[in-house]
Amino acid sequence: MNKINAVLLAGGESSRFGSDKALLSFAGMTLIEYIYKNLEQNFSQVIIVGSKDKYSFVKGAEIREDIYQDRGPLGGIYTGLYYSDNTYNFICGCDMPFLNRCYFDFLKKEKSQNPTAEIIVPRFKGYLEPLAAIYNRSLLEKIRQELLNDNLKIKSFYSKSSKKIVKDKLLKQNLNLDLDRLFFNLNYPEDKEKAVNYLMEGADQIAKAEK
């Protein structure tokens, strides 16, 4: 199986949350450290896209600042792919702490079974999850053109790209996991309590699934 890097996007404004989500205290560390450690254990290399000044405390991390400033997640995807030395890259945001090895391994398998797909992306409850997906570096020019045209929608390049959409049904068939927990996203301050509950409840579930 080809090596895959991970790109962790930490450059968002967290406007709905009210403060920088990446710096939120979570499981005895910051949220960005928690997610970084998880990615580090499952991918060849992890690139954080964000401020070097803000996130330099993350030990061992390669931190890259956006090539195109103030272009949102799309700019972060471009930057991560640009600096990656691997063809395939798992890209995620800094607000989904419950993505795990079972899910990563499943996506990697889907990638190997769909070698022509430039994007391997899950669909959950009718919506694609573009920040929990695998991308090919071949997308760089397509993304760059969208950035230059100020078309900053995160999926702006999808219609021009080959992709494999992994549907809920397939995820449920292959993963013995609570998908609501897996794709849980910290958007608002009140989501922290739910995240802590998921953290406490999820250890046994993951242990069973990974046996």
Determine how β-strand 4-9 pairs with β-strand 88-93.
parallel
Cβ neighbourhood burial of 11 (10 Å; 0-12, 13-18, 19+): buried
Candidates 166, 155, 154, 185; CA nearest to 124 is 166
Look-up of token digits 């803000």: 54
pLDDT per position as a tens digit, 153-170: 999 999 999 999 999 999
Please tell me the number of Cα atoms within 13 Å of 133 on its side-chain side.
25
pLDDT per position as a tens digit, 85-99: 999 999 999 999 999
Candidates 64, 90, 94; CA nearest to 79 is 64
Mean pLDDT of 116-130: 97
Alpha helices per DSSP H over 17-130: 31-40, 52-55, 72-83, 101-113
Question: Which CATH code, of 1.20.120.140, 2.30.30.240, 3.40.50.150, 3.90.550.10, is assigned to 4-209?
Answer: 3.90.550.10
Candidates 172, 143, 123, 8; CA nearest to 71 is 143
Contact 22, 30 (CB under 8 A): yes
Backbone angles phi, psi at 16, to 5 degrees: -70, -30
Mean pLDDT of 23-52: 95
Residue 25 CB neighbours (<10 A): 10
pLDDT per position as a tens digit, 97-113: 999 999 999 999 999 99
Candidates 53, 61, 46; CA nearest to 11 is 53
Query: What pLDDT band is residue 201 in, cutting at 50, 70 and 90?
Result: confident
Which residue(s) pair with 26 in the sheet? 29
- Give dist(CA 20, CA 6) in Å, integer: 21
User: Is the pLDDT at 12 greater than 70, yes or no?
Assistant: no
Contact 154, 200 (CB under 8 A): no
